[in-house]
Amino acid sequence: MELTYRPRRLRRTPALRAMVQEHQLRAADFIYPLFVHEGATNEPIGAMPGAQRWSLEGLVQEVGRAWGLGIRCVVLFPKVADGLKTEDGAECFNEGGLIPRAIRRIKAAHPGMTIMTDVALDPYSCDGHDGIVSAEGIVLNDETVEILCRQAVAQAKAGADLIGPSDMMDGRVGAIREALDEEGFEHVGIISYTAKYASAYYGPFREALDSAPRAAAGKPIPKDKSTYQMDPANGRECLTEALLDEQEGADILMVKPGLAYLDIIHRLRGETELPIAAYNVSGEYSMVKAAAERGWIDERSIVLETLLCFKRAGANLILTYHACDAAAWLAEEG
């Protein structure tokens, strides 16, 4: 065959392939989500093989392990006791609460680790929603934002580096930015859940935190979160959310879930200069784990390929429960 250009020439050897590789994974690309509870021991999470609800002591040790593997950011999620859950989720801004104590413990032991927090009411709400639910069953926007600002300030006081509003209330990024600045936390960043979809991929996560919407006597509770999280059918809508978050002061934009929404990551990459994060969510993680346990796939290859795809789509950062495994595998590859 008389061919002028043969693309396979640059695929011939490992060295040639490495020279022209467009995207690479690093441990520093990962944000490691960690669940913490008040218990004295770590508890396995049934729906998420390999994941734990960490005790405070176990959490500090796991953060140290992650640091040793080159991971430079963790995000914390609390399993809150039912007795502390209320309709307004007020425990979320308790400066002596689980998350502020966890932040202080981590900072004392691993001062270089970047700590991201979650800002939403669902772990603290007896209704299981990200916002306050009215007597009529409506998730209230502005009243919720007031609580979220107090939550963000409490986390910043404890030493959080990045505040992650995951609630999808309108205007919360601007309000949180203003609240942080007024309290002298201009240096604390906001990594906004910009395009968070009302997805079925969150199931294992909600088991881990016991944070799913729940029925209440005499009060209509929305069965899902579709009045505030985005419709999976909508793509262009992410641009509206991104524009608003950027105008309101977000430092990093996030897409959640990640794997089924690579097109959304790519759309945002073409519209903003801000860093973009992708959340490789619990359902995606658990499907890989389940298939690997049955011998249907090679876990290492699947995980590294999946994480690389987030980078190719345009993500700078990846929240993933695979973080420590992936970091170790990358180190082995050199």
pLDDT at 212 over 80: no
Report the C-alpha gap between 334 and 5 in whole angstroms. 32
CATH code 3.20.20.70 for 25-333: yes
Active site residue 225: no
Selected residue with higher pLDDT from 57 and 206: 57
Q: Which of 85, 196, 225, 311 is the catalytic position?
A: 196
pLDDT digits (tens, 9 = 90+) for 105-147: 999 999 999 999 999 999 999 888 999 999 999 999 999 999 9
- Judge if pTM exceeds 0.85: yes
* pLDDT band of 84, cuts 50, 70, 90: very high
pLDDT, position 201: 94
Burial class of residue 1 in the structure, from the number of CB atoms within 10 Å of its CB (0-12 exposed, 13-18 middle, 19+ buried):
exposed
pLDDT digits (tens, 9 = 90+) for 262-293: 999 999 999 999 999 999 999 999 999 999 99
Q: What are the sequence ranges of the domains in the chain?
A: 25-333
Please provide the average confidence, as pLDDT, over all residues in the chain. 95
**Could you tell me where the DSSP H helices lie in the chain?**
14-19, 56-68, 98-109, 141-158, 172-182, 203-209, 237-248, 262-269, 282-293, 299-313, 323-333
pLDDT at 307 over 90: yes
257 upstream amide cis, omega within 30 of 0: yes
pLDDT, position 27: 97
Which residue in 212, 200, 116 sits closest to 158, CA to CA? 116
Spatial neighbors of 63 by CB under 8 A, at least 6 apart, are 34, 74, 106, 109, 110, 113
Return the structure tokens found at 149. Answer: 């600002």
Report the C-alpha gap between 204 and 214 in whole angstroms. 16
Dihedral angle computed from the Cα positions of residues 171, 175, 180 and 181, in that order, rounded to the nearest 10 degrees:
110
Tokens 């993500």 sit on residue: 315
pLDDT, position 205: 86
pLDDT digits (tens, 9 = 90+) for 186-203: 999 999 999 999 999 998
Contact predicate 92/49, CB 8 Å: no
pLDDT, position 28: 97
Contact predicate 167/227, CB 8 Å: no
Report the C-alpha gap between 35 and 12 in whole angstroms. 44
Return the structure tokens found at 239. Answer: 């641009």
Average pLDDT over residues 256-261: 96
**Could you tell me where the DSSP H helices lie in 42-91?**
56-68
pLDDT, position 217: 65
Q: Which of 225, 256, 289, 311 is the catalytic position?
A: 256
- Mean pLDDT is lowest, of 4-8, 162-166, 285-289, for 4-8
Which residue in 285, 293, 271, 270 sits closest to 318, CA to CA? 285
pLDDT, position 208: 80
